[in-house]
Amino acid sequence: MRRRAFTAASFVALAAMLLTAGAARGDEPAPTRAPAAQPQPQPRLQVQPQPQPQPQPQLQPNPAFEAQAQVELLAMRVFLRDAVRERGPLALAESDPAALAARALAHARAYAAASAEHRDFERAVAALIACLAGDDDDLDPAVEALRRLPKALPLPSFRVSLCLAHAYRRRGMLPQALFFAEKALVLAPQSLEARRLKRAILAGLEARR
C-alpha cells in the first residue's frame, strides 16, 4: 500500500515535471540564427553590385591549339571508319566510350609519328595537340617524332616549339620544356601563351631547387 502510494506519487511528479519542461520549451522563443547571420545594414561599398568579371584580353590568339578539335574529330572519324569496316555499325554502338577515346588517342599518336616522317608538320602538330588535350600519358612516340621536325623544316616553327614545350612539361621534363618555350618566345615574342608557359616552367624549376 505504501509502495503503491509512492509509485503513484512518483508518477504524478514525473508527469508534472515533463509537463513543466514541455511548457517551458514551448515558451521559449523559436531558435534564432546567430546575430552575425541576420541581415545587417551593409556599407555602401558592399551594396554596390560587383563588377562583372571581364574576359582576359588575349594579346594573341592561341594558334597552336586552334586545330585541336579538328584533329580530335579526325582521329575519331578514322577510328570510327576502321571500326565500322572491321566490326560493323552495330558492334560499334556497343563500344565503351573510354575505349573509343583511348583508340582515338592511339590514332592521334600514330598520326604524329607518320606525319613527322612525311614532314607534314601541320598534321603532326595537331596530332600532338590531340594527344595533349586527350590527357594522353604515352606522349613519347608523338614527342619523339615531332621533336625532329624543327630541324627538318626550312623555317623554325612557333607551333612545333610551343607544342613540344607543353608536352615536355606534361612529362615533368622541365629543362627540355624550357628550351622549347624559349624558342617559341623568340619566334613570337608577343605570344601570351608562350610567356605563361615559360613562367610556369621557371616556377617549376625554382621549386625543385
Partner 1 sequence: MSGARGSRGRFLPAAALLVALAGVAGASGGCQSFAKLAADDPTVCAEEVQAAGEARHEPALLPHIRHILWNNADYRNEVVVAAMFAVAHRGDRSSVAAIARLARTSDDEEIRWHAALALKQLGGARADRARAQLAREDASGLVRGAARWGVRPAR
Beta strand ranges found along 62-124 (DSSP E): none
The binding site for partner 1 (CB under 8 A) comprises: 147, 151, 168, 171-173, 175-176, 178-179, 182-183, 185-186, 194-196, 198-199, 202, 208-209
* C-beta of residue 128 within 8 angstroms of C-beta of residue 68: no
Question: Is the CA virtual torsion 67, 68, 70, 75 positive or negative?
Answer: positive
Minimum Å gap between C-beta 199 and partner 1 is 5
Minimum Å gap between C-beta 169 and partner 1 is 13
Question: Which grid cell sits at 200?
Answer: 610556369
Question: Which grid cell sits at 16?
Answer: 508534472
Minimum Å gap between C-beta 127 and partner 1 is 19
Judged by CB, which is closer to partner 1: 75, or 185? 185
Judged by CB, which is closer to partner 1: 81, or 199? 199
Choose among 146, 90, 96: nearest CA to 121: 146
Minimum Å gap between C-beta 203 and partner 1 is 10
User: In whole angstroms, what is the distance from residue 52 CA to residue 189 CA?
Assistant: 31
Judged by CB, which is closer to partner 1: 21, or 153? 153
